[in-house]
Amino acid sequence: MLGRLLLAHLAKGARVLDVCCDTGTVAQHLVGRGFVVTGIDASEEMLRYASEEVPGAEFLVADARAFHLPPVFHGASCTFDSLSYMLTIEDLERVFSRVHVALRPGGAFVFDLSLEEAFKTEWQKSWSIIDDDEACFIRDSYDEHGRLGRTLITRFHRKLGWERTDVEFHTRCYKPAEILHALDRSGFAEYVCHRSDDSEELRRELGPGRACFVARSR
């Protein structure tokens, strides 16, 4: 996805912004392709790991809704459904606006999101990971009325005895029209939605019921 829609249009040595970079998986790929990479994420722990794994990239602790970087980037990416964690359209617009400011004129922003088709199927599942000293149970649910996904992770880890940890995450399901309107309001001049269900190649890369968005700065 990134290769075809973003990287193929950038020269070697171009500057790429990796938004919500997590542990640096995408940054590592970008550095390997010869790009100059800056990754931002709100988690210091994730970035500590990313810095160790991808020493060739720059990583900054920053909220995707409020970071400030100069307009030096030729392209930007945000993958793995990261923008679904923006629970209001206002927060989503804030991310788009900050990315737009950081892009050079004509720079492209590529990101993926799950659509309602995926929320209705994938967010109704549960699964578990069980080992000798650890067990993890993951339960998803989706509220169609509120368009809100919920993931509950329960982890048991054995030290002297068994210890339990519960973590809950929420994600928002946005309609493509809402996302495109938010891109427009954030200053992007061109934007398009590529639905995975309309392309066999994209469906293989992203899975069913998902979409990749490409926006270009003014």
Domains with residue ranges and CATH for the chain: 2-115+174-216 (3.40.50.150), 118-171 (2.20.25.110)
Say what the pTM is.
0.94
Neighbours of 113 (CB within 10 A): 24
Torsion (CA) 58, 101, 64, 175 in degrees, nearest 10: -130
d(CA 14, CA 67): 21
Mean pLDDT of 103-126: 96
pLDDT reported for residue 5 = 93
Compute the radius of gyration of the chain from its Cα atoms.
Answer: 18
**Nearest to 150, CA basis, from 123, 131, 128:** 123
Q: Is 64 helix (H, G, I), strand (E, B) or coil?
A: coil
Q: How many CA atoms lie within 13 A of 178 on its CB side?
A: 16
Residue linked to tokens 């920053």? 62
* Structure confidence by residue, pLDDT tens digits, 193-212: 999 999 999 999 999 999 99
| Apex 169 CA angle, 165 and 173, nearest 5 | 160
What average pLDDT does range 90-94 have in this prediction? 98
